[in-house]
Structure 1
């Protein structure tokens, strides 16, 4: 006979408070994103007056028309895709093999090398020495400065090392070597196929970082043709530059608005345009992300 245990009043209250807290947290997190979306298609005068809260008002797509008619946006979007895809590939090519090598107990120099990697997390050379180093290698104002000098994130390297240490037992390596497998073959044929969750998580971490990156572009790039989308967005948000086609040149059908309000309409639209591509990728790696996000919490 099945008996269903009922929750006590204190347990019901606890569950209610947890649900209330989670709901509030979701609303607080998602509302700014929602507001940017509805503000990008609302009359800018209504947004400036604070009339937009839950629903768009006097819907207009003039901001998006201005955005997609501007060559800088398309050029920045193209550059960002190049930096994101190329940078993620380069970072994975360095991080995954390095993390595997540092996880091998028979690699005698692993503790010595790991010390220097961790040391850079707390003490860096500083902006000026780093800039001079990058400049001496001839990478400034080139596409390569966005792909090579900062391709390895030490935190991601530590996560990769811990994953291989906790996932690949040494007995597996010994068995593979008895079958005539070399270290390189073991890494390619056994270690990598068992590391899909890790690779997906690292790919997501690096891709989001490259997609949102503008500080390196701001420091090391002078040619506007190499600017990523985020730097174009920064110029619009911070410097309020006029678009080449004239910000807000198309008249809105909802009444007179100032040039600043029209510029704000374009700014909201650029935020949406720059965020949508990376949001579309996340659902495809979500299952791996949920599985591998706790990798770094395991102790050595």
Structure 2
């Protein structure tokens, strides 16, 4: 494979070679611009905050220090919010995928008479929403305020993801399968469970990635609808810890300086703690993610 690529490269004209080299260099620079901030955050989280403020931390760790991580993991709120976020991510993603696929299937059937009106109503909500205050009052009247259910049910269906699922079912599930299933006596529910879901593994993985990342990064709904710290997701707890450690206080100069140093280390450490699980899982789902983007590019 490598020799074939080299032979094709040598067979190209000078202009084609120059164009390929330019593309490789440009894409390499873009990749460097994307990856370097992540790399800097990692080395900064283990470096001396004085070296960070002096601009000495560029490519390597300066003054190895794990104080930030020690302060982070000594806080019991971190572990509790981690458990909350895992719960919100697993249960919430399961609910969202179930509702999205159940809604997408009838919208993909041409014989469904309410297909177009329901699709219009779903897309209408992408551009026109009730707003924060009406939604807040609605959640309070439904007794969902300050409960786990508000995090799980409020974002139950994402219209963009629904459109992706509908297009996948329309373009990738042959109509002949339904005809054969009907001959065998299967109804729509049995057809959906026994045939549609097993053949929709690709789009389900894509939806897991979309919904899972959204739940893992959940912040705004928790900030608005949760008041009990025991229910806080990870991002909201990390925000509180960061603000608490950045407060200057009324102590002497030395204590204020030490507090600012600790806040600097905690800031970078919190970024690593909150993003590491997503960074670990993403490479395993990358090919499905790319395919999902292509599926969503056509809104037929």
* TM-score computed with the length of structure 1 as normaliser: 0.91
Map 1:208-227; keep pairs closer than 5 Å. Answer: 208-227=213-232
**1:47 maps to what in 2?**
52
**2:245 maps to what in 1?**
242
Q: Is the counterpart of residue 158 in structure 1 residue 163 in structure 2?
A: yes
Taking only aligned residues, the RMSD between alpha carbons, in angstroms, comes to: 1.8
**2:120 maps to what in 1?**
115
**1:134 maps to what in 2?**
139
Deviation at 1:285, TM superposition (A): 2.1
Q: Is the counterpart of residue 290 in structure 1 residue 290 in structure 2?
A: yes
**1:32 maps to what in 2?**
37
In 1: Cα distance, 2:44 partner to 2:158 partner? 36
Deviation at 1:106, TM superposition (A): 1.2
Residues 196 and 288 in structure 1, CA contact (< 8 A), matched pair in contact too: no
In 2: Cα distance, 1:156 partner to 1:127 partner? 22
Deviation at 1:194, TM superposition (A): 0.9
Measured against aligned partners, the alpha-carbon deviations of 1:119-142 in whole angstroms (never above 9, x if no partner) come to 000000011001111110010111
Q: Which runs of 5+ in 2 are unaligned?
A: 247-255
Higher relative contact order (CA 8 A, sep 6+): 1
Residues 238 and 270 in structure 2, CA contact (< 8 A), matched pair in contact too: yes
SS of aligned partner of 1:192: helix
In 1: Cα distance, 2:282 partner to 2:245 partner? 33
In 2: Cα distance, 1:139 partner to 1:38 partner? 42
SS of aligned partner of 2:155: coil
In 2: Cα distance, 1:58 partner to 1:17 partner? 39
Deviation at 1:242, TM superposition (A): 3.5
Moved over 4 A (4+): 2-5
In 1: Cα distance, 2:55 partner to 2:240 partner? 25
Deviation at 1:216, TM superposition (A): 0.4
In 1: Cα distance, 2:210 partner to 2:299 partner? 21
Deviation at 1:155, TM superposition (A): 0.3
In 1: Cα distance, 2:257 partner to 2:58 partner? 19
**1:251 maps to what in 2?**
none
Residues 163 and 299 in structure 2, CA contact (< 8 A), matched pair in contact too: no
In 2: Cα distance, 1:25 partner to 1:150 partner? 33
**2:76 maps to what in 1?**
71
Q: Which runs of 5+ in 1 are unaligned?
A: 244-255
Q: Which moved more, 1:118-127 or 1:172-181?
A: 172-181
Match for 2:201 among 196, 199, 215?
A: 196
In 1: Cα distance, 2:49 partner to 2:299 partner? 52
Deviation at 1:118, TM superposition (A): 0.3
Deviation at 1:258, TM superposition (A): 3.0
In 2: Cα distance, 1:129 partner to 1:83 partner? 24
Deviation at 1:257, TM superposition (A): 5.5
Residues 245 and 259 in structure 2, CA contact (< 8 A), matched pair in contact too: no
Q: Which moved more, 1:221-230 or 1:276-285?
A: 276-285
In 2: Cα distance, 1:104 partner to 1:219 partner? 38
**1:266 maps to what in 2?**
266
Higher share of residues assigned helix: 2
**1:148 maps to what in 2?**
153
Residues 93 and 215 in structure 2, CA contact (< 8 A), matched pair in contact too: yes
In 2: Cα distance, 1:190 partner to 1:35 partner? 47
Aligned residues: 285
In 2: Cα distance, 1:266 partner to 1:84 partner? 24
